């Protein structure tokens, strides 16, 4: 759950929310005795954390390149 919250705050909000949703399902399913469902929710949460990190990194690189391009076009 901690990883899902961190990537939501610092990487990419939309996919981070999906990670939080799946991470929150893990303990509920585990308490209900659904070990297979808990493992599946944990796998999906981990996948969305990874997607969030990759999307966040790509976003920052893209923003950097756009900023770099805007900076060079205004030089005389």
- Torsion-angle region of 34 (φ positive above 0: left; ψ -120 to 50: alpha; else: beta): beta
Quote the CA–CA distance of 7 and 26 in Å, as a whole number: 18
CB neighbours of residue 68 within 10 Å: 10
Parent domain of 56: 2-73
Per DSSP, the three-state class of 74 is coil
- State pLDDT tens for residues 16-70: 999 999 999 999 999 999 999 999 999 999 999 999 999 999 999 999 988 877 7
Domains identified in the chain, total number: 1
Instruction: Flag whether the pTM goes above 0.75.
Output: yes
**Residue 53 C-beta-side C-alpha neighbours within 13 Å:** 8
50 burial level (CB within 10 Å; 0-12, 13-18, 19+) = middle
């Amino acid at each position: 759950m901690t990883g899902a919250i961190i990537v939501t705050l610092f990487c990419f909000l939309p996919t981070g929310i999906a990670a939080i949703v799946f991470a929150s399902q893990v303990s509920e399913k585990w308490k209900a005795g659904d070990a297979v469902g808990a493992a599946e929710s944990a796998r999906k949460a981990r996948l969305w954390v990874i997607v969030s990190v990759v999307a966040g990194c790509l976003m920052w690189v893209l923003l950097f390149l756009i900023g770099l391009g805007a900076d060079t076009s205004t030089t005389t």
